[in-house]
């Protein structure tokens, strides 16, 4: 069966993203950095800038013959949730986050890639959306699409649960809880995946994420993040590969239960 069709007025205006619902494709790649959104959009055919509003920059274009959007969501779950909510209200059916993260296991180091299966909800936004026991899970079909795209690109990847945290720089009063999360088996730490997965689930949309690892604070004995440096050449190279994989995955047909999804604006995907 298809995903339930959502009737969206194409003239509905999304006030924070500053875009019309009808201008947003069903498939959207979301990234934190507006500069990364602009860079990734340079790979699209027929690229068009929709809007620049605060940290949110929105583009559309075509990749592998499919219309997709690329939108930046900024840093942290609160602001990112605003972006994800307005995209879902615009009728987006597939969202893939391509971002950076810190490795949490010794084998997950700078230059690695992680396909996210789920996220531990250590953020503030999702606690205001759903009960504590509600899981933040990636869509299975999106995970499979990312696996296939990574294999096509010839990239080995890690997979697993990540920690979504609102805290970047810990202080001495409470210290860092990263060692506890490492013992629990999370593979990486980042700041937005839980918000993406929960928001998408509330709208019946499919979401997933692939993350480029820019360091490993525990492996580097850098609990206070004072040695953080995301600008290493190996990280830049991995980000490029991540964008390739994410674009290929987000452009794949939208499937649910074996049938292509119906376009929310009235045509077939």
In a domain, 206, yes or no: yes
In a domain, 180, yes or no: yes
In a domain, 8, yes or no: no
In a domain, 265, yes or no: no
Containing domain of residue 239, as a range?
13-251
CATH code, 65: 3.40.50.1580
Tokens of 74: 């900024």
pLDDT tens-place string over residues 99-148: 999 999 999 999 999 999 999 999 999 999 999 999 999 999 999 999 99
Distance CA 56, CA 132 (A): 29
State pTM to two decimals: 0.90
Per DSSP, helices labelled H in the chain are 34-41, 77-89, 140-152, 178-184, 193-203, 233-250
Distance CA 239, CA 40 (A): 10
CA distances from 152 to 23, 27, 63, 128, 149 (A): 30, 20, 16, 39, 5
Provide the domain count of the chain.
1
In a domain, 1, yes or no: no
Q: Residue 254's pLDDT is what?
A: 73
In a domain, 49, yes or no: yes
Distance CA 80, CA 125 (A): 9
Whether residue 266 has pLDDT greater than 50: no
Distance CA 45, CA 70 (A): 12
pLDDT-wise least confident of 37-46, 52-61, 168-177: 168-177
In a domain, 256, yes or no: no
pLDDT tens-place string over residues 186-219: 999 999 999 999 999 999 999 999 999 999 988 8
In a domain, 136, yes or no: yes
Distance CA 151, CA 13 (A): 39
Residues that are catalytic = 214
């Amino acid at each position: 069966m298809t995903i339930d069709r959502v009737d969206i007025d194409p003239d509905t205006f999304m006030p924070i993203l500053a875009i019309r619902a009808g201008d947003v494709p069903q498939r959207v790649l979301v990234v934190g950095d507006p500069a990364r959104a602009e860079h990734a959009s340079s790979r699209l055919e027929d690229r068009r800038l929709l809007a620049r509003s605060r940290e949110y920059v929105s583009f559309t274009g075509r990749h592998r013959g499919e219309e997709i959007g690329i939108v930046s969501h900024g840093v942290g779950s609160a602001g990112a949730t605003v972006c994800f909510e307005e995209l879902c209200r615009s009728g987006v059916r597939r969202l893939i986050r391509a971002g950076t993260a810190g490795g949490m296991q010794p084998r997950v180091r700078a230059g690695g890639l992680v396909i996210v299966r789920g996220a531990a909800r250590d953020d503030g936004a999702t606690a205001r959306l759903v009960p504590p026991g509600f899981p933040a899970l990636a869509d299975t079909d999106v995970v499979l699409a990312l696996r296939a795209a990574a294999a096509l690109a010839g990239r080995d990847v890690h997979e697993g649960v990540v920690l979504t945290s609102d805290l970047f720089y810990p202080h001495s009063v409470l210290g860092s809880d990263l060692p506890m999360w490492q013992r629990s088996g999370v593979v990486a730490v980042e700041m937005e995946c839980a918000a993406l997965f929960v928001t998408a689930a509330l709208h019946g949309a499919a979401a997933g994420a692939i993350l480029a690892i820019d360091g490993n604070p525990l492996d580097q004995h850098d609990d206070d993040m004072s040695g953080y440096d995301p600008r290493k050449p190996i990280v830049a190279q991995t980000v490029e590969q991540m964008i390739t994989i994410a674009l290929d995955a987000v452009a794949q047909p939208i499937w649910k239960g074996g049938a292509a999804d119906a376009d929310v604006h009235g045509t077939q995907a």
